[in-house]
Amino acid sequence: MLRSWARALRQAVQSITRSGLMSLASLATVSVSLLVLAVVACLAVNLNLMAQELESQLEIRAFLRDGVDPAAQQALIEQVQALEGVRSVTFISKEEGLEIMRERLGEQRWILEGLEENPLPDSLQIELADPHQVVAVAEKVAAFPQVEKVRYGQGIAERLLAVTRAIRIAGLGMVLLLMVATVFTLANTIRLAVEARRREIAIMKLVGATDWFIRRPFVMAGILLGTMGAAVAAGLVYMGYRYLVRFLVTNLPFVPVASPAELMQPLGSGLLALGALLGMIGSWISLRRYLQV
Amino acid sequence: MVRFVNVTKIYPGQTKPSLHGINLEIDRGEFVFIVGPSGAGKSTLTRLIYREELPTSGQVWVGGINVAKLKRSQVPYFRRTLGVVFQDFKLLPDRTVFENVAFALEVTDASRREILRRVPAALELVGMREKANQRAVELSGGEQQRVAVARAIVRNPALLIADEPTGNLDPENAWQIMRILLNINQMGTTVIVATHAREMVDALRKRVVALENGTIVRDEERGVYGYA
Ligand SMILES: Nc1ncnc2c1ncn2[C@@H]1O[C@H](COP(=O)(O)OP(=O)(O)OP(=O)(O)O)[C@@H](O)[C@H]1O
Ligand SMILES: [Mg+2]
């Protein structure tokens, strides 16, 4: 088994080097399609990051009725904490609420001077583990008798979630589309090599070669081409992305970006694995027709 | 070893059968000539044996196996039990003589050692050992034919099928190949030879099956070529 794969590898390297210029051309094509794929993936990762950032700002404020006794308050906090999708619950007393408001008003805090008593209710600040459950959690919280009303940016939250979902679907769709395109590029390249050797393949079959014996060198060549193309693409993306991040960090510091090192580790290895996989699928597709002897 | 039961073969797109109502039984260890004019169906008959083609109707049995019933994945293993000399040789043109013969062993995942032991022996038998490193395209027709024979015998098959194995050879080389086939037959291999080589058929007095227009017109033990 190992011996036959080693032989296949040798033959694959041979066939790639033998058709030098052709291989170079197809390598370039594969690199380009994987490059586009990687760029889209980078974009998708960062859009996702942005979406996450926006989503993470979603939180629920629950305002409590006046005169809820401390025991009932404590019970409510525990019950809310236990709800699915809740990360943390912070109790904010009327006094703390007023303090926060003062701070927020800054220069204009004189507005509050005229108040005879604190008009703010006690409240709970609820952070979410899963922003998508904001509406469901808010409804459950509102149903507790201790709660007067909840606020979570009704309307805005739903729209925000719809937008982030659309962003994710679009990113995923593009990535899938490009993957299919890359498979066909690879399949076409390998089909040329197969075409050039179709007589040989027919002879191999007549002499008693199994499909796998014939397939192996081509699959190997596909994997090699895919991986090499991926390496080139990953290198280019890394350089480009590093440059872009440096630009963004200095010029648009408030935009969240994934750091190059952080992104390239999964992207680089993912790209290599993907290149290999797509090469394998591509050669598989291009061989199918020629094995029917 | 080989049994044809009412076999008819019509190639796709043809209306006239290339073989029609063939009943034939060849026992283990036999040596059989298939003769007949060009287009009689000799090659078609051999193709049915090694399952390059399937019968349109009837059955072909080889070594107790109904070839039409073989699963796709079993076909390679079936073919490995046979040695075939193709009428058009079917060598890999840009590979050397050695590689072409070694190839029949490589597909069976034979070890390097076994390849190095058996290939030179087979080449020696057909007198091609000196040209082992020459590429197949650089050989004459007769030399290619001898390489094709070496490839067919290198696996020690139980059944050897040779389609015109001497067609491109001068009498001396033709006789040498024929002697090799007889030798292999002596050692127990069943041999089927489709041929136009009148002198050899007449001289050897082996079983002769004569085809004409896709049917068997004659089947004689110790027969002769029998065409003018
Ligand atoms: N692949 C094919 N497709 C269609 N028809 C074929 C095919 N191969 C052979 N035939 C036809 O079948 C008939 C028998 O051909 P076959 O090659 O078996 O004859 P043969 O006896 O081997 O002839 P030769 O002595 O010239 O080699 C011929 O009429 C030929 O035209
Ligand atoms: Mg013929």
**Domain of residue B106, CATH code:** 3.40.50.300
A138 or A53, which is more confident:
A138
- What domain range is B191 assigned to? 28-42+75-220
Partners of B73 on chain A (C-beta within 8 Å) are 210-211
A99: tokens are 């303090």
Q: Which residue has the tokens 């525990």?
A: A78
Q: Is residue B64 situated within a structural domain?
A: no
B80 contact A CB<8A? yes
What is the CB < 6 Å shell around ligand 1? B 11, 14, 18, 36, 38-44, 87
Looking up residue A107, the CATH number of its domain turns out to be 3.30.70.3040
Note whether A194 and A230 are same-domain residues. Answer: yes
Question: What are φ and ψ of residue A59, in 5° steps?
Answer: -150, 170
Residue nearest to atom 6 of ligand 1 (CA): B11
Whole-number pLDDT of residue A179: 83
pLDDT greater than 80 at residue B135: yes
Whether residue A7 lies within 8 A of chain B, CB to CB, comes out as yes
> Measured between CA atoms, how close is A209 to chain B, in angstroms?
5
Segment A84-88 mean pLDDT: 85
Task: Find the range with the poorest average confidence among A140-144, B28-32, B54-58.
Answer: A140-144
Q: pLDDT grade, residue A138 (50/70/90)?
A: confident
- Provide the number of structural domains found in chain B: 1
- Who among A206, A210, A293 is closest to B84 (CB)? A206
Measure the CA–CA gap between B228 and B213, rounded to whole angstroms: 17
Last residue of some domain: A97, A116, A151? A151
Query: Looking at the domain assignment, is residue A156 inside a domain?
Result: no
Residue B227 has pLDDT above 70, yes or no: no
**Average of per-residue pLDDT across B102-131:** 92
Task: State how far residue B205 is from chain A, nearest Cα, in angstroms.
Answer: 31
How does DSSP assign B30-66, residue by residue?
-EEEEE-STTSSHHHHHHHHTTSS--SEEEEEETTEE
B89: in domain: yes
* A9/A16 Cα distance (integer angstroms): 11
* Residue nearest atom 17 of ligand 1, based on CA coordinates: B43
Q: How many Cβ atoms sit within 10 Å of the Cβ of residue B174?
A: 20
pLDDT at site A22: 66
> What per-residue confidence (pLDDT) applies to A72?
84
Residues in chain B: 228
**Nearest ligand, CA of residue B163?**
2
The reported pLDDT for the residue numbered B148 is 94
pLDDT tens, position by position, A275-290: 889 888 888 888 887 7
Q: Shortest Cα distance from B148 to chain A (angstroms)?
A: 11
Contact between A223 and A279 (Cβ < 8 Å): yes
A47 and A175 housed in the same domain: yes
Residue B212 CB contacts under 8 Å (≥ 6 apart), including other chains: B36, B37, B40
> What pLDDT, on the 0 to 100 scale, is given for residue B97?
96
* SS3 assignment, position A166: helix
- Residues of chain A with C-beta less than 8 angstroms from the C-beta of B91: 203
Q: Whose CA is nearest to atom 26 of ligand 1?
A: B38
Place of tokens 């004019």: B37
> Least CA distance to A7: which residue of chain B?
B106
- For residues A139-159, average pLDDT: 82
User: Is B20 an 8 Å CB contact of chain A?
Assistant: no
Contact B73 A210 (CB under 8 A): yes
Residues A68 and A16 both lie in one domain: no
pLDDT of the residue at A111: 75
Residue B41: which pLDDT band, with cuts at 50, 70 and 90? very high
Residue A102: is its pLDDT beyond 90?
A: no
Question: A171-189 pLDDT, tens per residue?
Answer: 888 888 888 888 887 788 7
Return the residue of A nearest to B107 by Cα.
Answer: A209
B181 Cβ contact list (under 8 Å, min separation 6):
B31, B149, B160, B162, B165, B191, B193
> How many beta carbons lie within 10 A of that of residue B200, not counting itself?
19
Question: For residue range A2-31, what is the model confidence (pLDDT) as tens digits?
Answer: 777 777 788 778 777 776 676 777 788 888
* pTM reported for the whole predicted model: 0.73
Q: Which of B52, B73, B107 sits opposite A208 (nearest CB)?
A: B107
Task: Specify the pLDDT at position B16.
Answer: 93
Asked if residue A178 is part of any domain, the answer here is yes
Structure tokens at A165: 């979902």
% of residues, chain A, pLDDT over 70: 97
Copy the structure tokens of residue A250.
């200095």
Question: Where is pLDDT greater, at A163 or B208?
Answer: B208
Q: Please give the C-alpha separations between residue A117 and each of A95, A120, A146, in angstroms, as whole numbers.
A: 10, 9, 22
Residue type, A116: E
Q: For residues B146 and B100, what is the distance between their CA atoms, to the nearest angstrom? A: 12
pLDDT at A293 over 70: no
Q: What are the chain B neighbours of A211 within 8 Å (beta carbons)?
A: 73, 76
Nearest-CA residue for ligand 1 atom 29 is: B39
Where residue B8 falls among pLDDT bands split at 50, 70, 90? very high
For residues B36, B38, B39, B41, the Cα torsion angle rounded to the nearest 10 degrees is: 30
For residue A168, give the amino acid letter: R
Is the distance from CB of B76 to CB of B82 less than 8 angstroms?
no
Q: How confident is the model at residue B119 (pLDDT cuts 50, 70, 90)?
A: very high
The helix (run of H) or strand (run of E) holding residue B2 is strand B2-9
Indicate whether A229 belongs to any domain.
yes
A175 and A237 part of one domain: yes
Domain holding A273, by residue range, is 2-54+170-291
For chain A, the average pLDDT equals: 82
Residue A88 pLDDT greater than 90, yes or no: no
- A36 Cβ under 8 Å from any chain B Cβ: no
Q: Which residues pair with B57 in a beta bridge?
A: B8
Query: Does a structural domain hold residue B124?
Result: yes
pLDDT of residue A1: 65
Pocket test for ligand 1, best of B7, B42, B47 (most atoms within 8 A of CB): B42
Specify whether A50 is located in the same domain as A175.
yes
Give the per-residue pLDDT at B136.
93
pLDDT for A10 equals 82
Supply the residue whose CA is at minimum distance from atom 22 of ligand 1. B43
**Min distance B118 CA to chain A CA atoms (Å):** 17
Best residue in A203, A207, A210, A212 for a mutation probing chain B (most B CBs within 10 Å): A207
Higher pLDDT, A288 or B219: B219
